[in-house]
Protein backbone atom coordinates (compact mmCIF):
# COMPACT_ATOMS: atom_id res chain seq x y z
CA UNK A 1 0.00 0.00 0.00
CA UNK A 2 1.31 3.42 -0.90
CA UNK A 3 1.10 6.37 1.48
CA UNK A 4 -1.48 7.98 -0.81
CA UNK A 5 -3.80 4.98 -0.40
CA UNK A 6 -3.19 4.97 3.36
CA UNK A 7 -4.35 8.59 3.61
CA UNK A 8 -7.37 7.94 1.36
CA UNK A 9 -8.47 5.19 3.78
CA UNK A 10 -7.89 7.44 6.82
CA UNK A 11 -9.76 10.36 5.20
CA UNK A 12 -12.56 8.00 4.16
CA UNK A 13 -12.92 6.76 7.75
CA UNK A 14 -12.99 10.37 8.98
CA UNK A 15 -15.66 11.33 6.43
CA UNK A 16 -17.85 8.29 7.24
CA UNK A 17 -17.76 9.31 10.89
CA UNK A 18 -18.50 12.97 10.13
CA UNK A 19 -21.39 12.15 7.79
CA UNK A 20 -22.98 9.64 10.17
CA UNK A 21 -22.86 12.18 13.01
CA UNK A 22 -24.61 14.75 10.82
CA UNK A 23 -27.16 12.19 9.60
CA UNK A 24 -28.05 10.89 13.06
CA UNK A 25 -28.31 14.38 14.56
CA UNK A 26 -30.80 15.26 11.83
CA UNK A 27 -32.61 11.94 12.28
CA UNK A 28 -32.95 12.41 16.04
CA UNK A 29 -33.77 16.12 15.79
CA UNK A 30 -33.04 16.87 19.45
CA UNK A 31 -31.15 15.42 22.41
CA UNK A 32 -34.42 14.17 23.91
CA UNK A 33 -35.47 11.82 21.12
CA UNK A 34 -34.68 8.11 21.25
CA UNK A 35 -35.27 5.68 18.40
CA UNK A 36 -35.77 2.15 19.68
CA UNK A 37 -34.63 -0.32 17.04
CA UNK A 38 -34.89 -3.48 19.17
CA UNK A 39 -36.27 -2.92 22.69
CA UNK A 40 -33.60 -3.50 25.38
CA UNK A 41 -31.06 -4.47 22.70
CA UNK A 42 -30.31 -1.52 20.39
CA UNK A 43 -31.29 2.16 20.40
CA UNK A 44 -30.25 5.37 18.72
CA UNK A 45 -29.97 8.24 21.17
CA UNK A 46 -28.28 11.63 21.44
CA UNK A 47 -25.40 11.61 23.92
CA UNK A 48 -22.73 14.27 24.21
CA UNK A 49 -19.56 12.67 25.56
CA UNK A 50 -17.42 15.27 27.31
CA UNK A 51 -14.88 12.73 28.56
CA UNK A 52 -12.28 10.59 26.83
CA UNK A 53 -12.31 6.81 26.43
CA UNK A 54 -15.67 5.70 27.85
CA UNK A 55 -16.18 9.11 29.44
CA UNK A 56 -13.12 9.17 31.72
CA UNK A 57 -11.49 12.56 32.37
CA UNK A 58 -14.90 14.20 31.95
CA UNK A 59 -14.12 16.80 34.60
CA UNK A 60 -10.74 17.75 33.13
CA UNK A 61 -10.63 21.19 31.48
CA UNK A 62 -11.48 21.24 27.78
CA UNK A 63 -7.99 22.44 26.81
CA UNK A 64 -6.35 19.52 28.65
CA UNK A 65 -8.59 16.99 26.86
CA UNK A 66 -7.89 18.57 23.47
CA UNK A 67 -4.16 18.64 24.27
CA UNK A 68 -4.21 14.94 25.25
CA UNK A 69 -5.97 14.03 22.01
CA UNK A 70 -3.72 16.25 19.89
CA UNK A 71 -0.51 14.87 21.39
CA UNK A 72 -1.78 11.27 21.11
CA UNK A 73 -2.75 11.69 17.45
CA UNK A 74 0.50 13.49 16.64
CA UNK A 75 2.66 10.78 18.23
CA UNK A 76 0.60 8.07 16.50
CA UNK A 77 0.93 9.86 13.14
CA UNK A 78 4.70 10.28 13.58
CA UNK A 79 5.06 6.59 14.45
CA UNK A 80 3.18 5.63 11.29
CA UNK A 81 5.10 8.10 9.13
CA UNK A 82 8.52 7.00 10.39
CA UNK A 83 7.82 3.26 10.24
CA UNK A 84 5.50 3.15 7.22
CA UNK A 85 7.79 1.05 4.99
CA UNK A 86 8.32 -1.50 7.78
CA UNK A 87 4.60 -2.04 8.36
CA UNK A 88 2.71 -4.94 6.85
CA UNK A 89 -0.42 -4.50 4.71
CA UNK A 90 -2.80 -5.39 7.53
CA UNK A 91 -1.04 -3.01 9.92
CA UNK A 92 -1.33 -0.18 7.40
CA UNK A 93 -5.06 -0.80 7.04
CA UNK A 94 -5.44 -0.96 10.82
CA UNK A 95 -3.48 2.23 11.47
CA UNK A 96 -5.32 4.11 8.70
CA UNK A 97 -8.67 3.21 10.31
CA UNK A 98 -7.47 4.12 13.81
CA UNK A 99 -6.07 7.44 12.58
CA UNK A 100 -9.27 8.31 10.67
CA UNK A 101 -11.52 7.41 13.60
CA UNK A 102 -9.28 9.27 16.03
CA UNK A 103 -9.41 12.41 13.91
CA UNK A 104 -13.20 12.03 13.66
CA UNK A 105 -13.62 12.23 17.42
CA UNK A 106 -10.90 14.89 17.76
CA UNK A 107 -12.64 17.09 15.16
CA UNK A 108 -16.00 16.63 16.90
CA UNK A 109 -14.51 17.58 20.27
CA UNK A 110 -12.68 20.58 18.82
CA UNK A 111 -15.73 21.95 16.98
CA UNK A 112 -18.53 21.02 19.40
CA UNK A 113 -16.77 20.75 22.76
CA UNK A 114 -17.60 17.06 23.08
CA UNK A 115 -18.13 13.96 21.00
CA UNK A 116 -21.59 13.09 19.65
CA UNK A 117 -22.33 9.45 20.45
CA UNK A 118 -25.56 7.87 19.29
CA UNK A 119 -25.39 4.08 19.15
CA UNK A 120 -26.60 2.35 22.31
CA UNK A 121 -26.54 -1.40 22.82
CA UNK A 122 -27.51 -3.36 25.89
CA UNK A 123 -25.86 -6.43 27.32
CA UNK A 124 -28.75 -8.04 29.11
CA UNK A 125 -30.37 -5.17 30.97
CA UNK A 126 -27.13 -3.20 31.22
CA UNK A 127 -26.34 -0.45 28.69
CA UNK A 128 -22.90 -0.45 27.08
CA UNK A 129 -21.42 3.07 26.87
CA UNK A 130 -22.93 4.91 23.92
CA UNK A 131 -20.60 5.10 20.93
CA UNK A 132 -20.35 6.32 17.32
CA UNK A 133 -18.85 5.23 14.00
CA UNK A 134 -15.40 6.66 14.84
CA UNK A 135 -15.32 4.34 17.85
CA UNK A 136 -16.32 1.39 15.66
CA UNK A 137 -13.71 2.28 13.04
CA UNK A 138 -11.02 2.46 15.74
CA UNK A 139 -12.18 -0.90 17.14
CA UNK A 140 -12.01 -2.49 13.69
CA UNK A 141 -8.43 -1.18 13.36
CA UNK A 142 -7.52 -2.65 16.75
CA UNK A 143 -9.15 -5.91 15.69
CA UNK A 144 -6.97 -6.01 12.57
CA UNK A 145 -3.87 -5.51 14.71
CA UNK A 146 -4.96 -8.38 16.98
CA UNK A 147 -5.55 -10.60 13.94
CA UNK A 148 -2.07 -9.73 12.68
CA UNK A 149 -0.59 -10.59 16.08
CA UNK A 150 -2.60 -13.82 16.21
CA UNK A 151 -1.26 -14.77 12.78
CA UNK A 152 2.21 -14.34 14.21
CA UNK A 153 3.03 -11.20 12.29
CA UNK A 154 3.05 -13.18 9.04
CA UNK A 155 1.65 -10.09 7.44
CA UNK A 156 4.73 -9.32 5.34
CA UNK A 157 5.80 -5.71 4.82
CA UNK A 158 4.36 -4.11 1.73
CA UNK A 159 7.03 -3.63 -0.99
CA UNK A 160 5.39 -0.39 -2.16
Q: Report H helices in the chain.
A: 3-28, 62-83, 89-112, 133-150
Closest CA relative to residue 105, chosen from 54, 142, 59: 54
Which residues are within 8 A (CB) of 66 and not within 5 positions of it... i.e. 6 or more apart? 106, 109, 110
Q: Which positions ≥6 away from 21 have C-beta within 8 Å? A: 104, 108, 116, 118, 132, 133
Q: Catalytic residue among 117, 139, 148, 158, which?
A: 117
139 is catalytic: no
Active site residue 117: yes
Residues 108, 135, 148, 158: which is the catalytic one?
A: 135
Give, as one character, the DSSP assignment of residue 88: B
Residues designated catalytic: 117, 135
Amino acid sequence: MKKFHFFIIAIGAFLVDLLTKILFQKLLGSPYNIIIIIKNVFEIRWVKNFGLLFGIFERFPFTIKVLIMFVSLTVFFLFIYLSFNKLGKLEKWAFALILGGGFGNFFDRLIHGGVFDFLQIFIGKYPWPTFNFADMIIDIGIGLILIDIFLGGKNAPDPH
